[in-house]
Each structure stands twice: as structure tokens, then as C-alpha cells.
């Protein structure tokens, strides 16, 4: 892909000598394509892992604009393992998503919120209630990100 970029520049110079004013528009389009392709989604897929004592959790996020999807799984010592998918939104440095998962053979939906700080995601906790069969936080502004569950960024496999 990197080898194409010098060729695009040469093509733009050739067009400039042949077409005058249109060359600037063509070069602008080429430049914007190069910028878009070179920076396109370097972080579109990110992976995170939480490990403490015998507890682990993994999170894979796929971002597109302000939307996020991915996989989330918890394997907490002496608790039922659960794994599922998340879908939600990114608002500033916060991810607010619904976690749809299977546990004990039953499908459940729970709201999850993560605060991004550097290469870490801190999971938020607070008072919850049930809305239409889903577990939601009562007030997102009162969530605590005390670091009890911190996911560190890792290389995706």
C-alpha cells in the first residue's frame, strides 16, 4: 500500500501539467484519500483484559464513528462464567453499552459503562434497576469508576 502513494503523487503531477486548474482538485482528492487511508481506523479493533487473582475478563471493541460493538466475557472465581456481545455508543471518554450474555442457560441484558483513561478502561458501578427486562443504571452521572475492575489494553489475537 505504501508503494502506491508515490505513484499517486507522480500521477497528480502529470495531471497538473495536462489539466491546469483541475489538477489542484485532483491533488486535493488524492491527498484526502492518502490521509483517510493512512489514518483509517488504526484503533478500529481494540482488545482489553482484566486479571486479578483468579478473576479474568476480556473485552474486544470494534469502533465506527461514535458506535461500538464487541465481545465481552467474565470468568470470575466461584461465580458463573458469562460471555456475550456489547453494542453501544462512545460519548467523549465514556463507552455506554448493552451487554447481552448467556449465564446459567439464560439470556440477559445488562448496561455496562467504561471510562477510558490512557490504555485502560475502568468499568463503572452504581445503583441499578430493571427496565423492560434489562438491568440499567439508575443514574449514569453517579457511577463510580473506583478501579475495582480495570481492563488493560492488549494486542488482539
The alpha carbon of residue 34 and the mean position of all alpha carbons in its chain are separated, in whole angstroms, by 23
Q: Quick one: pLDDT at residue 43?
A: 55
**Domain segments of the chain: what residues?**
4-39, 45-154
As a whole number of angstroms, the distance between CA 89 and CA 70 comes to 12
The mean pLDDT value for 109-135 works out to 96
| Contact call for residues 125 and 114 (beta carbons, < 8 A) | no
As a whole number of angstroms, the distance between CA 55 and CA 76 comes to 4
As a whole number of angstroms, the distance between CA 103 and CA 82 comes to 5
**58-92: pLDDT as tens digits:** 999 999 999 999 999 999 998 888 999 999 999 99
| Contact call for residues 80 and 103 (beta carbons, < 8 A) | yes
**In sequence order, what are the beta bridge partners of 91?**
94
Question: Any alpha helices (H) in 40-89, and if so which ranges?
Answer: none
Amino acid at each position: 500500500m505504501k508503494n502506491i502513494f508515490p505513484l499517486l503523487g507522480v500521477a497528480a503531477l502529470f495531471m497538473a501539467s495536462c489539466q491546469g486548474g483541475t489538477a489542484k482538485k485532483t491533488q486535493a482528492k488524492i491527498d484526502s484519500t492518502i490521509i483517510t487511508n493512512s489514518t483509517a481506523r488504526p484503533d478500529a479493533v481494540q482488545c482489553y483484559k482484566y486479571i486479578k487473582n483468579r478473576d479474568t475478563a476480556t473485552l474486544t471493541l470494534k469502533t465506527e464513528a461514535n458506535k461500538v460493538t464487541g465481545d465481552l466475557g467474565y470468568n470470575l472465581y466461584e461465580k458463573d462464567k458469562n460471555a456475550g456481545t456489547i453494542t453501544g455508543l462512545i460519548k467523549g471518554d465514556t463507552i455506554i453499552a448493552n451487554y447481552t450474555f448467556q449465564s446459567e442457560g439464560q439470556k440477559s441484558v445488562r448496561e455496562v459503562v467504561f471510562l477510558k483513561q490512557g490504555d485502560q478502561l475502568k468499568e463503572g458501578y452504581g445503583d441499578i434497576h430493571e427496565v423492560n427486562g434489562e438491568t440499567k443504571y439508575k443514574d449514569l452521572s453517579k457511577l463510580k469508576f473506583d478501579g475495582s475492575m480495570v481492563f488493560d489494553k492488549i494486542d488482539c489475537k
